[in-house]
Structure 1
Amino acid sequence: MKIRSVEAFPVSFPVPEGARVSLGIGTAIKRDAVIVKVTTEDGIVGWGESHHGRAHGAIAHLINTSLRTLITGLDAADVVGVWARIYKFQLGSHGMGAGTAMAMSGIDMALWDIRGKAVGWPLYRLLGGTSKAIPAYAGGIALGYQEPSKLVDEARPMIDAGYRALKLRVGDTPGRDIARIEAVRKAFGDEIALLTDANTGYTIADARAAMPAMQRLGVGWLEEPFPAHDHRTYAEAKAFSTTPLAAGENHYTRFEFHRVIEDRVLTILQPDLSKAGGVTEVMRIAAMASAWKLPIHPHSSMTGLNQAASIHLLCAIDNGGYFEADLSRGNHFRDTLVSTPWQIGQDGYVRPLEGPGLGLEVDEEFIRRHPAIEGPGYV
């Protein structure tokens, strides 16, 4: 079952003005992704997603040139060997760093999809897990900056659909952020879990002002108030309240997670299967975190490929937390590119797909109809 071909496709679609969401990194004007297709010599096709890294053409080009050359002809079932080869020759020494981690993540996911299809098993079973209910929160590029009453109106259908946890976007100003949290808490009561994500939009002064109020309002975590590399700032902010600090979507491989775990500052870890090194590497990160009794709440990427894979992984680790359900309005990568990646129950839980591998069908015509749109995704 050798790898015959590796293809990466940068894809995009514009976000209509009425559906744009403002958050700590700007206002979303388009959605980008990198879809990875790996085909074996005996014709098995696996699909994966590499995060776009806000340079989806570059990530796809790296896959279609350097990485494809490295792994063509290798055993598709040897996910550890493929990962190690990319690490040795591309990532470990002067090899594009985060770009390679994102690129290899999609390849690794596609190889796991192939393994499942080869034996007829869903991914969670291959990983040693079982089908179980996974709690989900309403997230994705949604619940952004707006008047508190409008935010409540956006959240209400999510609650009606079954979600029992919401992630609100903060990083605007502490005052406006807290007003929005207060409005949502008042509207839905204490039985709904409220989480927050600043998307690196806070200063240390902002965090000092906002975090005591977040503690008062029972916020479950403050995610990425600062950039991933600001270790000292995270350590200082930990003292501002008991609200847990969360991060991980912008940390790459177990080697970066080793640092943040040993720092003992972050207590909510959020590796992304399309960024941190793929399924193979996030399983390692989860095992390392388990030794410290730390939970894994995977960050959800652009497409249903990542989202379905995240649920599978949560079913296969002993320290799994929430699934981030992307509830972005009009997300064609979730609704059209692939078959249905998940369904929420009225109890607020999701379950993994039962088909082989990721359990998804991919519309290749969609890929052809949505070529890359160049330029920034946020303004």
Structure 2
Amino acid sequence: MHRIVSAKAELLELRLDKPVGGSGVAQVDVVIVDISDEEGRTGLGFTYALGGGGNVVLECARTQLDKIVCGQQLVHPSALWGTVASTFNRTGYGPNLVALAAIDLAAWDLYSKRLEVPLASALGGVPRPIRLYGSGGFTATQTAIEAAHVADGYVERGFQAVKPRVQGKISRDSEVLRAVRHTIGDSVAMMVDANEKCDLVSAKQLLLLALDHNVSFVEEPLPAQALSAYRALSAHAPVAIATGEHLQTVAEFLPYFCEGLAAVVQPDLAMMGGITPIMKLCTLAEAFNVAVSPHFLPGLFVHVAASSTSIRQLEDFPLIEPLFEGWPTCDAQGQVTPGTECGHGLRLQRSRRQ
């Protein structure tokens, strides 16, 4: 009755008007997955590769759909996720997981529609408003004045937190943090994102600088795989450390939980392989009393936040949002609430269909 009878994937190349964020991304490859069941219900999923490389992800998605997903009974999305992921034992995670993210999201969308409830409810949650922090618009190449101007724009829209980018160059970073703090005042929270640009020495300096400017957390002061350096940095960290957008699988987060290396973890939908493993990560975070602040896509993760108290804020960084309709809107207090439409409520813009 709930067999998936159609499953397809396509690639969209989204070229940005200018480089964005701390890594200067100028193109995003977005893989779209559409599935449908015997009763005509449909599910839409997507994943992405920042900076290109989407063709590899597309091939992985098509292989998973053709060889595994199409013809499967969709008993529950997490069961489907496990079935697909079990085939990665000889090829590894990498683009396989990035592709699975789109399939998993499509499965949750279809499953929610079958239950005739919003995704937030299908995930077992109760919809609630979640605070956004301003992140899009900041880049690592901005002057202090430019960063302050972006921050001021967020505050005028009702946001209570902002996250400028830093370079790991203390003299320049000091100017940026001073200017942003002066602009937003003491009542608005500030985080900073180093995008893995520091070594251990400059990371220690950055955390001390962050303390001087009442920064809530420093994101990715070091590469995510540099566990020895994170151990040394966290041992005497004067402010909270955040990381996680470059990690794949719940297992890769375990040292950060078990050894107290980060106070905030930031799973990425694509890297993690979808909502299913992120739900597991949220449960683990609750057990360790660690905050979860997902990377990008607040209009999607607000559904996940409905079922996990570990998610306390979401990142406003519009990137692939223009491809879709149906995103929940931000209110005057800088908060977002899940919509009431069945599923995740998103639709690919008709003009984007190939």
* TM-score, length-scaled by structure 1: 0.88
| Distance in 1 (alpha carbons) for counterparts of 2:188 and 2:126 | 27
Report how far residue 95 of structure 1 moved.
2.2
Equivalent residue for 1:221? Answer: 217
- Residues 175/289 of structure 1: CA separation in 2 closer, same or farther (3 Å cut): same
Q: Secondary structure of the equivalent of 2:28?
A: strand
Equivalent residue for 1:20? Answer: 19
Report how far residue 252 of structure 1 moved.
1.4
- Residues 287/149 of structure 1: CA separation in 2 closer, same or farther (3 Å cut): same
Equivalent residue for 1:374? Answer: none
Equivalent residue for 2:324? Answer: 338
1:273–1:310: 8 Å Cα contact kept in structure 2?
no
Equivalent residue for 2:333? Answer: 347
Report how far residue 364 of structure 1 moved.
4.0
Amino acid in the other structure paired with 2:327: P
Equivalent residue for 1:68? Answer: 66
Q: Secondary structure of the equivalent of 2:271?
A: coil
Amino acid in the other structure paired with 1:94: R
Q: How many equivalent residue pairs?
A: 352
Match for residue 87 of structure 2 among 83, 89, 93: 89
1:251–1:257: 8 Å Cα contact kept in structure 2?
yes
| Distance in 1 (alpha carbons) for counterparts of 2:257 and 2:312 | 17
CA RMSD of aligned residues (A): 1.8
Equivalent residue for 1:247? Answer: 243
Equivalent residue for 1:6? Answer: 7
2:267–2:278: 8 Å Cα contact kept in structure 1?
yes
- Residues 365/185 of structure 1: CA separation in 2 closer, same or farther (3 Å cut): same
| Distance in 2 (alpha carbons) for counterparts of 1:77 and 1:170 | 46
Matched, 1:321 2:312: yes
| Distance in 2 (alpha carbons) for counterparts of 1:363 and 1:21 | 22
Following superposition of structure 1 onto structure 2, how do residues 272-283 of structure 1 map, counting pairs within 5 Å? 272-283=268-279
Q: Secondary structure of the equivalent of 2:348?
A: coil
Residue deviations 1:245-304 (CA, integer Å, cap 9, x gap) = 11111111222222321121111011122321211111111111111111111111xxxx
Amino acid in the other structure paired with 2:167: G
Amino acid in the other structure paired with 2:333: D
1:161–1:344: 8 Å Cα contact kept in structure 2?
no
1:44–1:114: 8 Å Cα contact kept in structure 2?
yes
Equivalent residue for 1:265? Answer: 261
Report how far residue 172 of structure 1 moved.
4.9
Q: Secondary structure of the equivalent of 2:204?
A: helix
- Residues 115/254 of structure 1: CA separation in 2 closer, same or farther (3 Å cut): same
Residue deviations 1:212-271 (CA, integer Å, cap 9, x gap) = 010111111111122211101111112453211111111112222223211211110111
- Residues 121/286 of structure 1: CA separation in 2 closer, same or farther (3 Å cut): same
- Residues 47/4 of structure 1: CA separation in 2 closer, same or farther (3 Å cut): same
- Residues 51/240 of structure 1: CA separation in 2 closer, same or farther (3 Å cut): farther
Following superposition of structure 1 onto structure 2, how do residues 290-305 of structure 1 map, counting pairs within 5 Å? 290-300=286-296
| Distance in 2 (alpha carbons) for counterparts of 1:360 and 1:315 | 17
Q: Secondary structure of the equivalent of 2:325?
A: coil
| Distance in 2 (alpha carbons) for counterparts of 1:77 and 1:51 | 26
| Distance in 2 (alpha carbons) for counterparts of 1:307 and 1:11 | 21
Equivalent residue for 1:164? Answer: 160
* TM-score, length-scaled by structure 2: 0.93
| Distance in 1 (alpha carbons) for counterparts of 2:299 and 2:155 | 21
Q: Secondary structure of the equivalent of 2:270?
A: coil
Query: What residue ranges of structure 2 are gaps of 5+ in the alignment?
Result: none
1:138–1:324: 8 Å Cα contact kept in structure 2?
yes
2:151–2:183: 8 Å Cα contact kept in structure 1?
no
Divergent runs of 4+, >4 A: none
Equivalent residue for 2:33? Answer: 36
Query: What residue ranges of structure 1 are gaps of 5+ in the alignment?
Result: 301-305, 369-379
Higher RCO, 1 vs 2 (CA within 8 Å, ≥6 residues apart): 1
Report how far residue 145 of structure 1 moved.
2.3
Equivalent residue for 2:106? Answer: 110
Q: Secondary structure of the equivalent of 1:29?
A: strand
Amino acid in the other structure paired with 2:340: E
